[in-house]
Structure 1
């Protein structure tokens, strides 16, 4: 089974992404936009969560209403840029447990190495939504998803802001069961492994550390 790719088509999302891409957007505004995009993508990524019908008493009557059939999935941020998306996701799922995967990409080999893994025990029953703004070469996403699966997650969804075709192909090959939710499928990777047109280094732009 090949993982599904969901490129979310929404005018408000596209508007925010345009501003996020803009090189003139300052770091505080970039963080706010990233959080808002994270919230919108979380709504899409949770669209298929199981639900049940339950009784709800309004001020006027009692009615049947859909509710979630189980607890919210674990929200997992790939450090550090994933924290920006996580902020918005937590607004949508405030009761969800939170995990973190710390990965660092070697700019020469483009390979990720892990320096942190903190996962709540609920991941074994609830599954996880993994957040990383960029799906570029696919190396970091593949490694992060592997760590979440090794922690016992039965279901993993991957959320990013922009994706490159190369990264999508590699992620599908490595984890064919993991659906991908993104605001845009961009054109390509450049010779340095950066997404084009992309939005630059999301971590640096989010936290104001670009040199």
Structure 2
């Protein structure tokens, strides 16, 4: 995993992402695909978790077996679209602590406005994975990471489905210590701040709203 950006080129990830991009894909199918792809991305973002061993009894004998080390990691959903990624990752890591950062984008300024913040305790002792399907302008993502660092988080990774070059640059400038794991770096942002070619508004497509 590179220091700042990892693009997950696994064939299953890329295939499912293509299906999600299709504008004719239904809300139900989009939601299921997001759940599936989030688990594949979670596999990548957790690839180097610290390990230790403990003594267990197999049906054959006693052994020293590998287990995760340290405090349970924290998954932070950047509302509302982050919940789609959160659900899939939680199926893979059901013991994770969960937090929520509520931000909405002011359509005139494209700046994030905070409306909710509730996260687990002792973030400084946990790997913190912030999830949001889209890294577009990067403004909301940077604001969310600012809040998490303010709450004590020191080891943060950002998991997204799509990233725009502008968002990656914004995050690297503001938080060079935060690794980004994504399924695709798309071409650019349009004038409205949406990723192109992208897949539209992830929240709207996930929840069937406009």
Q: Specify the alignment match of 2:198 in structure 1.
A: 198
User: SS of 2:18's equivalent?
Assistant: helix
User: SS of 1:181's equivalent?
Assistant: strand
**Shift of residue 38, structure 1, vs aligned partner:** 1.4
- For these two proteins, the number of residue pairs brought into alignment is 209
Q: Is the 8 A contact 1:97 1:122 kept in 2?
A: no
Counting only pairs closer than 5 Å after superposition, residues 151-166 of structure 1 correspond to structure 2 as: 151-166=151-166
Partners of 1:159 and 1:28 in 2: how far apart? 22
Q: Specify the alignment match of 1:67 in structure 2.
A: 67
Partners of 1:137 and 1:3 in 2: how far apart? 21
* Residues 32 and 122 of structure 1, relative CA distance in 2, 3 Å threshold: farther
Partners of 2:164 and 2:25 in 1: how far apart? 22
User: SS of 2:78's equivalent?
Assistant: strand
Partners of 1:134 and 1:78 in 2: how far apart? 10
Runs of 4+ with deviation above 4 angstroms: none
Q: Specify the alignment match of 2:56 in structure 1.
A: 56
> Which ranges in structure 1 are unaligned for 5 or more consecutive residues?
none
Partners of 1:3 and 1:105 in 2: how far apart? 28
User: SS of 1:25's equivalent?
Assistant: coil
Q: After superposition, what is the alpha-carbon deviation per residue over 1:156-179, rounded to whole angstroms, capped at 9, x for unaligned?
A: 100000000110011000000000
Q: Specify the alignment match of 1:28 in structure 2.
A: 28
**Shift of residue 95, structure 1, vs aligned partner:** 0.7
**Shift of residue 3, structure 1, vs aligned partner:** 4.5
